[in-house]
Amino acid sequence: MSNVTVCARFRPLSSREADSDDLCVQGLDAENFILKDEKDEELKFSFDRVFYPESEQAEVFEFVALPIIKDVFNAVNGTIITYGQTGAGKTYSMEGPGIANCDEQNKGLVPRVIEELFETIRASDEAIKSTITLSMVEIYMERIRDLFDLSKDNIQIKEHKVLGIILQGVTEITLVNPEEALESLSNGISSRAVGETQMNMASSRSHCVYVFTVKQEVTMDKRIKYGKLILVDLAGSEKVEKTGAEGRVLEEAKNINKSLSALGNVVNAMTGPLGKGSHIPYRDSKLTRVLQNALGGNCRTALLCCCSPSPRNVSESLSTLRFGARARHIKASPHVNLKEEKSIKKHEAHFLTKDDLHERIL
């Protein structure tokens, strides 16, 4: 069974694209669609789900995030990634049009995830003490910045024998209730925006990574159940014109190309003839290193390929969809831990003893 769910999402035409109501996408059903390329050739794609322009945020949440959240409470890690060219709807899908004062209908995956995490805890057994923490980092020019503490602007990645990939010293905020959680989230996002104006950096040039950790302690039990949910709003995948780009713009472009092509190479290595047996080049970029435990193994991954529906952007949409089509072939089976406690290695299971937690570097 594949543990990567790949979806395509076509946003509505933007006002700039709306001079013609032609669309490059023609839906067949909930999983299949046809893309008309620049030469008017019809290419058929089959994904786990297609969200057409009229799709609601709630539908995306229910299909993409809900099953993964359920598994996080079973100590199976989860990852949700938005991929696509700038303006394709990655941030709208992830956050919504904004976090503060966003209406119910438009809010994106992250605020919905927060609500669902709290709702699951509220409905769970009282003997389980659950804690949710959130870290937010931005990867820009191969540096990892802590969005909750801007003085930490070069976070290092470490591999921990029990916990896997660790962002050393990153700020972890304990979420107390959905309202305060949204406030923290808003602060993190605005730190990203401050960086933007100071450095004239568009958010489309950096990757934004949200890390939720759910810790469940059963009273009278020595074990702690531990699940991580990572959401990634990637930098725009468009090809930057080489001509004309210079200085920092060129450096940015090279770094984005480097990390997204590293992600592509990781996907290729995981889907190649040798699959998991081949060398997976995680170390080629900060992005792939951060995602090292998040793309296979004990993890469920969802990739949302965001596209413009306009024929003008079809070549970028095609490249986004080809990336998604490739990722569909990643095979790795997430463990369902609960029934097999004894047979699972600790670092795979995310069942930690209280002593293990003392080793935690975070």
Name, in order, each residue with C-beta under 8 angstroms of 43's C-beta and a sequence gap of 6 or more: 34, 35, 36, 37, 318
Is residue 79 a contact residue for Mg ion (CB under 5 A)? Answer: no
DSSP 13-50: PPTTTTTS---SEEE-SSSEEEEE-TT--EEEEE-SEE
Strand partners, 351: 225
Q: In terms of CB distance, is 33 or 282 closer to ligand ADP?
A: 33
Is residue 310 a contact residue for ligand ADP (CB under 6 A)? Answer: no
Instruction: Please tell me the distance from the alpha carbon of residue 107 to that of residue 92, in angstroms, as a whole number.
Output: 8
Q: Is 117:71 a contact under the CB 8 Å cutoff?
A: no
Q: In terms of CB distance, is 236 or 311 closer to ligand ADP?
A: 236
Q: For the CB of residue 108, give the shortest distance to Mg ion in the complex, in Å.
A: 11
Q: Length of the chain, please?
A: 362
**Which of 76, 81, 83, 89 forms a contact with ligand ADP (CB under 6 A)?**
89
Is residue 12 a contact residue for ligand ADP (CB under 6 A)? Answer: yes
Instruction: Please tell me the distance from the alpha carbon of residue 154 to that of residue 307, in angstroms, as a whole number.
Output: 32
For residues 84 to 123, the per-residue mask of contacts with Mg ion, x marking binding by CB under 5 A and - elsewhere, is: ------xx--------------------------------
Number of residues that bind ligand ADP (CB under 6 A): 15
Token output for 105: 């209908």
Is residue 202 a contact residue for ligand ADP (CB under 6 A)? Answer: no
Cα-Cα end-to-end distance for the chain:
33
Q: Is 356:346 a contact under the CB 8 Å cutoff?
A: yes
Is residue 319 a contact residue for ligand ADP (CB under 6 A)? Answer: no
Is residue 108 a contact residue for ligand ADP (CB under 6 A)? Answer: no
Choose among Mg ion, ligand ADP, none what residue 87 binds, the Cβ cut-off being 5 to 8 Å by kind: ligand ADP
Residue ranges of the annotated binding site for ATP are: 84-91
Q: Is 290:167 a contact under the CB 8 Å cutoff?
A: yes
For residues 246 to 285, the per-residue mask of contacts with ligand ADP, x marking binding by CB under 6 A and - elsewhere, is: ----------------------------------------
Q: For the CB of residue 89, give the shortest distance to ligand ADP in the complex, in Å.
A: 3
Which residues make up the interface to ligand ADP (CB under 6 A)? 11-12, 14, 84, 86-92, 97, 204, 236, 306
